[in-house]
Amino acid sequence: METIKILENKENLNWDYDEEADVLYISVGKPQKALGVDIGEGVIMRYVEGTNELVGLSIIGIKERFLKGLQLN
């Protein structure tokens, strides 16, 4: 795979949280059609084929991860 351009346009970050599904969607600019690649541990990277520009991330189980991170041992 070619190099992915990451956050070259970072001033236009948008996000949306789906509480029912516990998924955080992060978009660079307005959400757009893109290819999704599961990069592991519940993170989906979305990029535009042709330009290889990263246009979004989906993080599955974000609330669960956050609460787990706050637990004291």
Q: What is the DSSP letter of 4?
A: P
pLDDT > 80? residue 8: no
First and final C-alpha spacing in the chain = 41
Q: 5 in a domain, yes or no?
A: no
Q: 15 in a domain, yes or no?
A: yes
pLDDT > 70? residue 13: yes
Band of residue 51 on the pLDDT scale cut at 50, 70, 90: confident
Cα–Cα nearest to 58, from 16, 5, 9: 16
Q: 3 in a domain, yes or no?
A: no
Give the chain's domain count. Answer: 1
Q: Mean pLDDT throughout 66-71? A: 82
The reported pTM is 0.75
Q: Mean pLDDT throughout 40-48? A: 94
Q: What is the dihedral of CA 22, 41, 14, 6, to 10 degrees?
A: 180
Q: What is the mean pLDDT of the chain?
A: 85
In whole angstroms, give the CA distance from residue 43 to residue 40.
Answer: 6
Cα–Cα nearest to 24, from 64, 55, 61, 71: 61
